[in-house]
Amino acid sequence: MTDPALPTDQRLLGIAAEHVRRFGMERTTVTGVAREAGMTHANVYRYFPSKTALADAVTGVWLRRLEASAADVADAPDPAEDKLERLLLLVMRSHRERLESEPNLYDLAVDAFVENRPVARNHRARLRDLIERILDDGVATEVFPATGRDRFIGLAFDLGYRFLNPWAVRLDRSIPFRVVETRHAAAAQALVRAIRTAG
């Protein structure tokens, strides 16, 4: 039950998330969300122009929380190489935990990323910004070389693909989490070694 004191758009997102959690996206309808919110479906469309927009807004709530946690890592006083490993591990863990605890909601993220919708593009851009921030910190402290920044960002996403892309994370669902975590740690360490030795 969502708090009736919340702003209407937040209340609708809460109701939509609960419907997807219980019924899956296919059986979730704008009409059902509107009925529980005590309004017409036309009124819901004033806030979210389509069912897909509503789904992406639900996904966006989770991704913004993840981005805030990742920003805390990027802004920490730790050495840059430690922050890069921690950020990648944080994102991977968040994806895996949502997949296991909220599979229907995770499916919304998978769809958004597969179709390259704005909520997914914006999330990737924010992660790129945070990785850039860490690399710049590493250059400033002479942990990382001053050249090759764009190549290293590309390498981070290439090595992290299996752990950071929702579709790929879902493919690995049958693999025990401890195994995935070990693989991720090895990839993150390889990335840091590649950057540090590039100069």
- Taking only the tens place, the pLDDT of each residue in 46-63 is 999 999 999 999 999 999
Cα–Cα separations (whole angstroms), residue 181 to 136, 159, 165, 171: 26, 14, 15, 15
Q: In angstroms, rounded to a whole number, what is the distance separating the alpha carbons of residues 100 and 107?
A: 11
Q: How confident is the model at residue 1 (pLDDT cuts 50, 70, 90)?
A: low
**133 and 83 in contact (C-beta within 8 Å)?**
no
Helices (H) and strands (E) in the chain, counts: 10, 0
Q: In angstroms, rounded to a whole number, what is the distance separating the alpha carbons of residues 36 and 43?
A: 13
Nearest to 132 by CA among 147, 152, 113, 146: 152
**Predicted pLDDT of residue 154:** 85
Please state, as a whole number, how many other Cβ atoms lie within 10 Å of the Cβ of residue 30: 19
Structure confidence by residue, pLDDT tens digits, 69-121: 999 999 999 999 999 999 999 999 999 999 999 999 999 999 999 999 999 99
* 199 pLDDT higher than 60: no
Write down all domains in the chain, each with its CATH number in brackets: 8-47 (1.10.10), 52-197 (1.10.357)
Structure confidence by residue, pLDDT tens digits, 27-50: 999 999 999 999 999 999 999 999
